[in-house]
Amino acid sequence: MQKHINIPVFIPELACPHQCVFCDQKKISGRLKTPGIDEIKSTINSYLSSVDKANCRVEIAFFGGNFTGIAQADQKIYLDIAQEYVDKGMVDGIRMSTRPDYINGEIIKFLSGYTISTIELGAQSFDENVLKKSGRGHTSADIINASGLIKQAGISLGLQMMTGLPASSPEAEIKTAKKIIELGADNTRIYPALVIKGTKLEELYNEGKYKPQSLEDAVAICAKLYKLFEAAGVTILKLGLHPSEGLLSGCELAAGPFHLSFRELVLTALWKELLLDIPADKSKGDSVIIEVPPGEINYAAGYGASNKNMLLQKFAKVKYRINSQLTGRTFNVIYN
């Protein structure tokens, strides 16, 4: 299976008609200005210099704002640059993120002149009250309509969602995930809401009108969402916000379930659920070897060896090893 690589080009806050309560794209993307043509080409060339194109699928990705909301003349400038690399066989396609209410038939027709492989929509939620309280400025019907147009155009559909938004609940988030699956999304990103300094959400938090998810709660709901998407064949591109310098230092983060290894925490939780009920059987031995598929040993052992430590409460010794015959999250227990 080919590895997928995005070459990210961040275009922060351009033409975004609404300031969502959680959003400050300049801080999240780590950018202060829109990149120029030379900078974009330099970024693309820098990525390509270290990519093994024969074994990777590479896309130029316009992230960070409302791409289809900017002036069409500006879109054309960016897309023309990207298309040059596609035409030369240096990249495989172009992807972008945008708002659901900035996709219509005219926009899709314009984009059809380029090799657009994926459009990601910031759905965030399908709960109308959550969308309203979050200042999204669009409805669930907008998400549904835009998704249909993208799929009809033969473009891969990505639908992003957030947990822990104002007025949200685990039940609403499960329903959002199920709707994403129902709409035929090919991929998704799951972001627990963070309170970024300078946002409306920080005001609500400081006024006691918003309580962010705890890290434990965010991990728990994301583990449930992960299983839903995985079972439906929806690729989970990302779990948790990318750790920009500001978030790492804490200077931009006011509150919320940020963790450098959030995805690992979620996968640890999935493995914990599976390993929790391994029975202690003194007649077979007081030590166990847990065989797991390739790539899963760190998650099976758990972040900070938490799952291993859990099993050590039952067994004198616990060892993990890879079994290349296993797939997914299947495992064997060998007593000794």
The predicted pLDDT at position 153 comes to: 97
The predicted pLDDT at position 1 comes to: 61
pLDDT digits (tens, 9 = 90+) for 68-113: 988 899 999 999 999 999 999 999 999 999 999 999 999 999 999 9
The predicted pLDDT at position 224 comes to: 98
Q: Between 137 and 333, where is the model more confident?
A: 333
pLDDT digits (tens, 9 = 90+) for 255-267: 999 999 999 999 9
Give the chain's end-to-end CA distance (angstroms, integer). 37
The predicted pLDDT at position 188 comes to: 97
pLDDT band at 249 (very low <50, low <70, confident <90, very high): low
How many Å apart are CA 281 and CA 83, to the nearest integer?
62
Q: Is the pLDDT of residue 126 over 70?
A: yes
How many Å apart are CA 192 and CA 94, to the nearest integer?
26
Domain map (residue ranges) of the chain = 3-260, 268-335
How many Å apart are CA 239 and CA 259, to the nearest integer?
10
The predicted pLDDT at position 12 comes to: 67
The predicted pLDDT at position 149 comes to: 98
Q: In what order do the strands lie in the sheet with 156-163?
A: 3-10, 56-63, 93-98, 116-124, 156-163, 187-192, 235-239
The one-letter amino acid at 59: E
φ/ψ of residue 156, rounded to 5: -65, 135
The residue-averaged pLDDT of 125-131 equals: 95
The residue-averaged pLDDT of 41-53 equals: 92
Looking at the domain 3-260, which fold is it? TIM Barrel (3.20.20)
pLDDT band at 245 (very low <50, low <70, confident <90, very high): low
Q: Which two tokens stand for residue 268?
A: 């640890």
**Lowest mean pLDDT, pick from 29-33, 46-50, 82-86:** 29-33
Q: What is the residue whose two structure tokens read 């166990």?
A: 288
Q: Which two tokens stand for residue 106?
A: 């005219």
Instruction: Give me the percent of the chain exceeding a pLDDT of 90.
Output: 77
The one-letter amino acid at 81: I
CATH-assigned architecture of domain 268-335: 2-Layer Sandwich (3.30)
* Tally of CA atoms within 13 A in the half-sphere of 72 that contains its CB: 9
φ/ψ of residue 236, rounded to 5: -95, 105
**Lowest mean pLDDT, pick from 5-14, 122-131, 210-219:** 5-14
pLDDT digits (tens, 9 = 90+) for 295-325: 999 999 999 999 999 999 999 999 999 999 9
Task: Report the candidate in 214, 202, 234, 181 with the shortest Cα–Cα distance to residue 24.
Answer: 202
**Are the C-beta atoms of 222 and 174 separated by less than 8 Å?**
no
- Strands 187-192, 156-163: pairing is parallel
Q: Between 296 and 55, where is the model more confident?
A: 296
pLDDT band at 222 (very low <50, low <70, confident <90, very high): very high
The predicted pLDDT at position 32 comes to: 53
**Are the C-beta atoms of 154 and 190 separated by less than 8 Å?**
no
Residue 238 belongs to what H/E stretch? strand 235-239
The rounded mean pLDDT for the chain is 91
- Strands 287-292, 332-335: pairing is antiparallel
How many Å apart are CA 278 and CA 333, to the nearest integer?
8
Q: Do domains 3-260 and 268-335 have the same CATH topology?
A: no
